[in-house]
A = this chain, B = another copy of it.
Amino acid sequence: MSTLRITDGQVLLPDMRVVDADVLVDREEGGILDVGRDIDADADETLDASGGLVMPGLVNAHCHVAMTLLRGYADDKPLDAWLQEDIWPAEAELTAEDIRAGAELGMLEMIKSGTTAFADMYFEVPTLVDAVDEAGLRARVGHGVVTVVKDDEGAQVDIDESLSVAREYDGAADGRLSTAYMPHSLTTVGEEYLRESVAEAREDGVPVHFHANETTDEVDPIVDERGERPLEYADDLGMLRPQNFLAHCVHVDESEIDLLATRGAAAVHCPASNMKLASGMAPVQRMLDAGVTVGLGTDGAASNNDLDMFDEMRDAAMIGKLAADDASAVAAGTVVEMATRGSANAIGVRSGVVEPGANADLIVLDLDAPHLAPAHDLVSHLAYAARGSDVRHTVCDGQVLMRDREVLTMDEAEVKERARTHARDLVARAEDA
């Protein structure tokens, strides 16, 4: 066995206690072997965590990582106008090489800000799979399906692509890759396609991931046409099962929260995107109180505008209190749980906790910065004061992806330069079109 030992730090345990401990990792299997100060084992590799906190790598449960290429391209617009006037026209020009450049930039940012796993819905999935494999991250990926603007033939091509991607790449990259069937949303995919393809995905044992109840514009048409709430409709279609996870869930009523809890489907909260697009405030504390599994995601960088999950934790705590009109709602420990175990459970990976048997997806946070002094409460700091730039080391699946802020699996300068070039060319093409 080949081992990695993370030494001399404090460790955040699954119950949110912080203890002095080392962490021993199996580099071949990519799992955590032991947590404690007195582990009796020589290690093949060590990582210094002195003055730092060893904690689970953060899990970004809803992203479109290639959209990092469009960071800052169009801001300060509501969802509908933003998609139709800016994002979709630019996306129409995207090549596989653009998507690779954007995905690599996004993953570089993730590794540098302590994210070790993510769920991603986009196009050109084979390209993304290859990029994830090289970057060393863990991801659940899928091809986003939209049928409403297409003829029957075009819609079927999209559906087939999504199902075949979900089948082909599950378990790729030594098991770091998993997949889901990803119809875009309940209003952008027709009922017959949803019904048939969701049944097929279920037969294959593949989860379903979709956008749900992000804006009132997505809710009202379903209520008007069908006389039922969107999640009742989703339930009729068999889309609210354990394993499945729904992005956003901003405009959900009590009956829909109960449905999520009863059926065991997870919600992925995306607070920054919901604020930036003025979509609304998700009832996160109410979902948690009802027993819904809630994860946390950044959404794409174009509506955030970063992929820093520390930012997202802070945003979740902040907006969660406003939504509940209660400063004690969505407390520090709650958002840390949401960004680690909550997200990991939502997307179905055995990460998000530092304990033997879990995936060795870990980060070491440097506690020395002025904004992390004094240390009355480290969990408070994780939620309210820490940021991605405080991450010292990043480990995924037992492999060190970043050591002392140097990313080992990617050439940082090349990735940034390639992204800049592709972004410039993309905008030029979109403006010509």
In contact, A276 and B78 (Cβ under 8 angstroms): no
A275 touching B385, Cβ below 8 Å: no
Distance in Å from the Cβ of A310 to the closest Cβ of chain B? 10
Tell me, yes or no, whether A161 is within 8 Å of chain B by CB: no
Choose among B112, B278, B332, B427 the residue that contacts A370 (Cβ–Cβ < 8 A): B112
Give bound CA distance, A385 to B75, whole Å. 12
Cβ contacts under 8 Å, A105 to chain B: 370, 373-374
Tell me, rounded to whole Å, the shortest Cβ–Cβ distance linking A28 to chain B. Answer: 30
Q: Which of A71, A73, A415 has the most CB atoms of chain B within a 10 A radius of its CB? A: A71
Interface residue A375 (Cβ < 8 Å from any Cβ of B): yes
Find A374's partner among B78, B321, B375, B424 (CB 8 Å cutoff): B424
Q: Which chain A residues have a beta carbon within 8 Å of chain B's beta carbons?
A: 69-73, 75-79, 82, 105, 108-109, 112-113, 272, 275-278, 280-281, 304-308, 311, 314-315, 317-319, 321-322, 324-329, 331-332, 368, 370-371, 373-377, 380-381, 383-385, 387-389, 412, 415-416, 419-420, 423-424, 427
Report B-chain residues with C-beta under 8 Å of the C-beta of A423. 373-374, 376
In the bound complex, do residue B387 and residue A327 qualify as a contact, i.e. CB atoms below 8 Å apart?
Answer: no
Chain B residue at minimal CB-CB distance from A415: B370
Which B residues lie within 8 Å of A305 (CB)? 380-381, 384-385
**Are A324 and B278 in contact, with the CB atoms below 8 A?**
yes
Residues of B within 8 A of A322 (CB): 275, 278, 280-281, 319, 322
Contacts A277-B327, A327-B276, A420-B375 given; indicate if A72 touches B384 (C-beta within 8 A).
Answer: yes
CA distance A6 to B170 in the complex (A): 53
User: Is the Cβ of B315 less than 8 Å from the Cβ of A318?
Assistant: yes
A307 to B76, CA, bound (A): 25
Pairwise interchain contact B75-A371, C-beta atoms closer than 8 A: no
Name the residue in A109, A275, A420 with the highest tally of chain B Cβ atoms < 10 Å from its Cβ. Answer: A275
Shortest beta-carbon distance from A209 to chain B in Å:
24
CB distance from A112 to the nearest CB of B (A): 6
A sample of 28 inter-chain contacts (CB < 8 A) reads: A71-B381, A71-B385, A72-B377, A72-B385, A75-B332, A76-B321, A76-B327, A76-B329, A76-B331, A82-B327, A105-B374, A108-B370, A109-B370, A112-B371, A275-B319, A277-B321, A278-B322, A278-B325, A280-B322, A304-B384, A305-B384, A305-B385, A318-B319, A319-B322, A368-B416, A371-B388, A374-B423, A387-B389
Q: Which of B78, B276, B380, B387 contacts A72, CB < 8 Å?
A: B380
Chain B residues with CB below 8 A from A308, complex form: 371
Contact status of A332 and B76, CB under 8 A, knowing A278-B327, A374-B420: yes
| Residue ID in chain B nearest A384 by CB atoms | B305
Considering the complex, give the chain B residue whose CB is closest to the CB of A407: B370
Q: Which B residues are in CB contact (< 8 Å) with A368?
A: 416
Instruction: Give bound CA distance, A368 to B109, whole Å.
Output: 12
Closest 9 CB pairs of A and B: A374-B423, A275-B318, A72-B380, A305-B384, A278-B327, A76-B331, A389-B389, A78-B327, A278-B321
